[in-house]
Structure 1
Amino acid sequence: MSRLVVVSNRVPNPGSGQPQAGGLAVALTDALKRRGGLWFGWNGQLSQSAVTRPRVAHHEGIDYATLPLAKPDYDDFYLGYANAVIWPVFHFNLGAMDYQRRYGEAYRRVNALFADALAPLIEPDDILWVHDYHLMPLARELRERGIGNRIGFFLHIPFPDYDVLRAMPGHRQLLEDLCRFDLLGFQTRNDQHAFEESAGRAIGALVHAPGALRHRNHPFGTGVYPVGVAVDELARTAARTLTTNRVRRLLNGLGERDLMIGVDRLDYSKGLEQRFRAFEALLEDYPHRRGHTVLMQIASPSRSSISEYADLRQRLEGLAGHINGTYADLDWAPLHYLNRTFARGSIMGLYRAARVGLVTPLRDGMNLVAKEFVATQDPDNPGVLVLSELAGAAAELTDAIRVNPYDIDAIAAGVNQALAMPLPERRRRHEAMMTTLRENDIGAWEQRFLDDLGVARA
């Protein structure tokens, strides 16, 4: 079996003693342990100047090769081109794009640096799996250094329609770069179609058959591989943590009130402002919910040095204060807004305790919170998922209450429907979604992609 080399912008710290942050990291770790492999990328640290020789550590059968980023590269590659240009454009938010020429130069420079550091570590039979939008030029950089191995790429975020993509400076070069991989994986069929159309219109890539393309005499494939979750593990974790002191204190404080929960990174793509306004509309239009419903919104801090994110935090804090100031009573605060990060186990317990899960991004590649919420529910008394139809997960979780995330009144009506839903219907919807989650769990995602990459032409 060929050795697997995983490349990602961030690499977990194997010696920290901390549990993996999410199911995706767990799945990649398991794949590397089974196949024997190397995980390469940024270690999350900053240096005064560029470092080209990675630090290699071995832990539980996996080699970890990591580099720090120089502070200018962090500013212009990570915060700049990756998260102030690619991220907003790929999430259909052109107004948030902040392009500067030095950002694009840093994006190329860091991908070249990664290729210089990674190329000497690659063995002839290795299969490379590159992850996400930070590293789209990496295959081209590696090819220019003589690496002929099979290289796959998976995009975790949406891929925009061509009329949106072409507003981004450098988009043609990025399309050229993506065509140097052997297999491109996308979350949904819409993302796959958007890429194929863009590559055809912008750089003349030819689509010979569904998922089979050619560009500059290089054949490559595309496919749809929706990321899943570890269903049984999440269910066990949720049942166990439901009894922890932190979760029990919350439940005791709620009494007979219904808990609604949202868990997101603090990001404008997550639709948090619209969600807060929809909750206010629920309290206004459905007055019988007052005093009986609590929304807990956890928003983990993210990219706070980017002005869009700092401004969003201020607006959310203002909305939360307005809603509580208008509707709260002496023994009831309707909105609990927590701008901090909580342990993953505690979050799973909160999901299980909630009557409604609110997942209403304005755009999302998949959104694993939606799948985690369903997986953690008590099958005998499950909560209801209210899900944005613009999240990738909506293509699979068709038994959720799906809403337009821009329609405040529709979200409020969907929440009211969820709160009023009788138990037999809740069970039916939950069972149907669990069947889908088990068919497309995290292990199936990893296995399908690597099986297809294994037969791709190098």
Structure 2
Amino acid sequence: MSPVGTVAGTADRKRTTPRPAVTAPKRRLVVVSNRVAVPRHGRTGGEGGLAVGVKAALEESGGMWFGWSGKTVEHDVGEPEAAGLFEAGKTTYAMVDLTRRDYEEYYNGFANRSIWPLFHYRLDLADFNRRYLAGYQRVNALFARRLAPLLRDDDLLWIHDYHLIPMADQLRHMGCRQTMGFFLHIPWPALEVLLALPNHRALVQSLCAYDLVGFQTEDYRRAFVDYCQRELGATVDAEGTLEAFGRRVRTGTFPISIDTQSLAEAAEEAAGSRQIHRLRDSVRNRDLIIGVDRLDYSKGLLVRVQAYEHLLRAYPANRGRVVMLQIAPPSRMEVPEYMQLRHEMEAACGHLNGAFAEFDWTPVRYLNKGFSRRMLAGFYRTARVGLVTPLRDGMNLVAKEYVASQNPEDPGVLVLSRFAGAARELDGALIVNPYDLEATAEAMQMALALDLEERKDRYRTMIDRLRSHDIDRWREDYLSALAA
């Protein structure tokens, strides 16, 4: 397991006593992310780990959340001193609109056609267009200009993810001296992969403008340190602090998590709902295998369908007795690679059903839409197998959500890719290499065949981890390290 909220060299210690309360930082917390999760009346649930963790921190101590509004405009209206602001409870929400050009070059361009594929080891899909890089730098500079007038001298800044790596550097050049931390939600690639990025040195130099850089796993943190040592000649001490570009930067590992208790309660509540009864009735007495992923090439969706097909061929007794439910809401449909993936998934699922379906059984149900958090929790609880097989993933909260949603008296089994950050923590899962279709099929077969006692044993070790290392623990550990 990877250590939580620790710096290099600190071993993870299993909790034997309740977690002590962590005092919230007295300084104001300013969170910066690409999108802002604006509170909307009557809408709850469906939020990711970032939104849940950030909202809890801001509700507890107050502060500001700054980022893109999600709106695009034809032309920039100018450079007002402050971004659009409104208050909700203890939190100030500050948002900036982007022009269509900014959105295409910064978000669809450099963030999601350069950094995203590269950091997920898909160099074949990476597009290093200099126009995209210019847009990425321009939008980060815009965000910095709009944020700077809103800052107080003693603020703590917590900046999130690959969209905003240059933010601290931009703010430093404007004279901002506040404590700034960065957390990367996606993988950090190995040196040989990162070197393919034309501006790799400048990107790492931007990260060195932060006081604390956090990663999901120790592997990713070490890969970052390895780059700094081998390419920059940086020195690194035993506490994970490196010196580069004239700055001292602390590095740490902080695996993001879920609201474990809340999700377990939602799953138990959903178990008796009309929708879950409909699902059970439609499946009849068959075993359900579930996958829930954004429609993204990093999630291993195509190889997952192929592994399931191999399961049906290699273990024909499963025909008519197992159903796979794959939920894949569309994502980034303006990016050509995502549109192509949608067509390929539809073709793969159609091919599999055409080859194996009977008049009273459809082997795979492919749903290209999203569902509420509560309904997904009920789906997870119903499924005998949770299939989470990304080709590369920073953490993957679906794996944790599946475990948290299980019935403790009759839990399902998690089949998990070794390339998901969650595999470092969820040691009760059946760990697979998703590129090995036969081995993945064998793991699915094993998951379907495990007896109740072993399923319970595997579940206990994982749920204990998720209870002691939930979203609150992630937030507290990071902010404590940032404020130190």
Bucket of the pairwise TM-score, normalised by the shorter protein: over 0.9
Once superposed, which parts of structure 1, at least 4 consecutive aligned residues long, lie more than 6 Å away? none
Report the counterpart of residue 234 of structure 2 in structure 1: 205
Q: Secondary structure at the match of 2:65?
A: strand
Report the counterpart of residue 43 of structure 1 in structure 2: 69
Are 1:357 and 2:383 counterparts? no
2:69 alignment partner AA: N
Segments of 5+ residues of structure 1 without an aligned counterpart are none
Are 1:11 and 2:36 counterparts? yes
Q: How many angstroms apart in 1 are the aligned matches of 2:41 and 2:146?
A: 24
Q: Secondary structure at the match of 1:294?
A: strand
Report if the CA contact (8 A) 1:15-1:59 is conserved.
Answer: no
How far did residue 16 of structure 1 move?
4.7
Q: How many angstroms apart in 2 are the aligned matches of 1:208 and 1:239?
A: 47
2:161 to 120, 129, 132: 132
Deviations 1:191-246 (A, max 9, x none): 00000111222333321334111123311100000011111100000111122222
Report the counterpart of residue 32 of structure 1 in structure 2: 58
1:409 alignment partner AA: E
Report the counterpart of residue 300 of structure 1 in structure 2: 329
Per chain length, whose mean CA-contact separation is higher, i.e. which structure has more relative contact order (CA < 8 Å, sep 6+)? 2
> Bigger shift: 208-217 or 165-174?
208-217
Q: Secondary structure at the match of 2:303?
A: helix
Q: How many angstroms apart in 2 are the aligned matches of 1:17 and 1:101?
A: 43
Are 1:110 and 2:135 counterparts? no
> Bigger shift: 161-170 or 45-54?
45-54
Deviations 1:291-332 (A, max 9, x none): 010000000101111111111111110111111111111111
TM-score, normalised with respect to structure 2: 0.93
Q: Mapping of 1:436-447 within 5 angstroms?
A: 436-447=465-476
Q: Mapping of 1:141-180 within 5 angstroms?
A: 141-180=170-209
Report if the CA contact (8 A) 1:12-1:43 is conserved.
Answer: no
Q: Mapping of 1:306-321 within 5 angstroms?
A: 306-321=335-350
Segments of 5+ residues of structure 2 without an aligned counterpart are 1-25
How far did residue 394 of structure 1 move?
0.3
Report if the CA contact (8 A) 1:39-1:64 is conserved.
Answer: yes
Q: How many angstroms apart in 2 are the aligned matches of 1:346 and 1:35?
A: 31
Report the counterpart of residue 219 of structure 1 in structure 2: 248
2:30 alignment partner AA: V
Percent identity of the aligned residues? 49
Report if the CA contact (8 A) 1:6-1:130 is conserved.
Answer: yes
Report if the CA contact (8 A) 1:176-1:203 is conserved.
Answer: no
Report the counterpart of residue 225 of structure 2 in structure 1: 196
Q: How many angstroms apart in 2 are the aligned matches of 1:243 and 1:199?
A: 53
Q: Mapping of 1:441-456 within 5 angstroms?
A: 441-455=470-484
1:187 to 202, 216, 224: 216
Report the counterpart of residue 412 of structure 1 in structure 2: 441
How far did residue 3 of structure 1 move?
0.6
Q: How many angstroms apart in 1 are the aligned matches of 2:267 and 2:30?
A: 32
Q: Secondary structure at the match of 1:365?
A: coil
Are 1:253 and 2:282 counterparts? yes
> Bigger shift: 178-187 or 335-344?
335-344
1:266 to 295, 299, 322: 295
Are 1:348 and 2:345 counterparts? no
Q: Secondary structure at the match of 2:163?
A: helix
TM-score, normalised with respect to structure 1: 0.98
Deviations 1:389-446 (A, max 9, x none): 0100000011100000100011100000000000000000000001111121110100
